[in-house]
Amino acid sequence: QKEVEQDPGPLSVPEGAIVSLNCTYSNSAFQYFMWYRQYSRKGPELLMYTYSSGNKEDGRFTAQVDKSSKYISLFIRDSQPSDSATYLCAMSYGQNFVFGPGTRLSVLP
Amino acid sequence: GAVVSQHPSWVICKSGTSVKIECRSLDFQATTMFWYRQFPKQSLMLMATSNEGSKATYEQGVEKDKFLINHASLTLSTLTVTSAHPEDSSFYICSARDPLGVSYEQYFGPGTRLTVT
């Protein structure tokens, strides 16, 4: 079993749709949970982070963590074509930092 | 936020030659930098962790004699791909941690696309 699993997609949605991206993990030691966005041929940029179970909202983005189920999600409301990118979940504890494989998202105008 | 740069952004080299990629933290001192490789439509694969003033720690399966990492200063780490072959063609990305920032956060460079012909 991989330490972090994520559906690779591709995921295509119409503009304005609500997008749900998910990751599961197996190591209960993970303390910090992050979502990165990576445009084609660019480095990843940090979108959101959280360290506790529950929801965290930032504009159109909501990060959700359920530590009991070892499950994290990123919701994007009112999706825009500019949201088209690969979204990678990541989690860490101490010096250990693990990325999920990423989900490719396309928002169609 | 903190800025990490990479140079070059794109390089083409002939098989058998060596290529050096630079990673710089522009507005903070990074005691730890990371080197990743990413193949098309795949996730980031950590190659090694570079600590200033000491030897890099390589991940399992990464040849340390082929991928030479030097972290000679708090703002610069270099990755040298020695005797490059076409299978080394990939997107190489570095990241850095700001020791004065939060422990979880990594700042990524824009990446270097290496094509070996």
Say whether residue A41 is in contact with chain B using an 8 A CB cutoff. Answer: yes
| pLDDT at site B104 | 63
Residues of chain A in contact with residue B106, where contact means CB-CB under 8 angstroms, are: 46, 97
The position carrying tokens 């119409």 is A14
Would you tell me how many other CB atoms lie within 10 Å of the CB of residue B3?
Answer: 13
The pLDDT of residue B98 is: 75
Q: Stretch B83-109: mean pLDDT, rounded?
A: 86
Q: Give pLDDT tens digits for A29-67.
A: 998 999 999 998 889 998 998 888 899 999 999 999 999
Q: Is the confidence at residue B1, as pLDDT, over 80?
A: no
Which residue of chain A has the CA closest to B32?
A: A95
Mean pLDDT of chain B: 90
Residue A100: which of B1, B43, B46 has the nearest Cβ?
B43
Partner-chain contact B104 A44, CB within 8 Å = no
Res. A1: pLDDT tops 70: no
Does the pLDDT value for residue A78 go beyond 90?
yes
- If one compares A14 and B29, the residue with the highest pLDDT of the two is A14
Determine whether the interchain pair B110/A43 forms a contact, defined as Cβ–Cβ distance below 8 Å: yes
Nearest Cα of chain B lies from the Cα of A102 at a distance, in angstroms, of 6
Q: Does A92 sit within 8 Å of B110, measured CB to CB?
A: no
Query: pLDDT band at B101, cuts 50/70/90?
Result: low
Q: What is the pLDDT of residue B9?
A: 95
* B40-75 pLDDT, tens digit each: 877 788 999 988 888 899 999 999 999 999 988 889
For chain A positions 44-103, those within 8 Å of chain B (CB to CB) are: 44-46, 49, 51, 88, 92, 95, 97, 99-102
Give the Cα separation of A42 and A6 in Å (integer).
Answer: 20
pLDDT band (50, 70, 90) for residue B2? confident
For the stretch A79-109, pLDDT in tens is 999 999 999 999 988 777 888 989 999 999 9
Residues 45-104 of chain B with CB under 8 A from chain A are 46, 49, 91, 93, 95, 103-104
E-state strands within A1-109 = 4-6, 11-14, 19-25, 32-38, 45-50, 54-58, 61-66, 71-76, 85-93, 96-99, 103-108
pLDDT of residue B14 exceeding 90, the answer is yes
Evaluate if residue B22 carries a pLDDT over 70. yes
Contact A76, A13 (CB under 8 A): no
pLDDT more than 90, % of chain B: 68
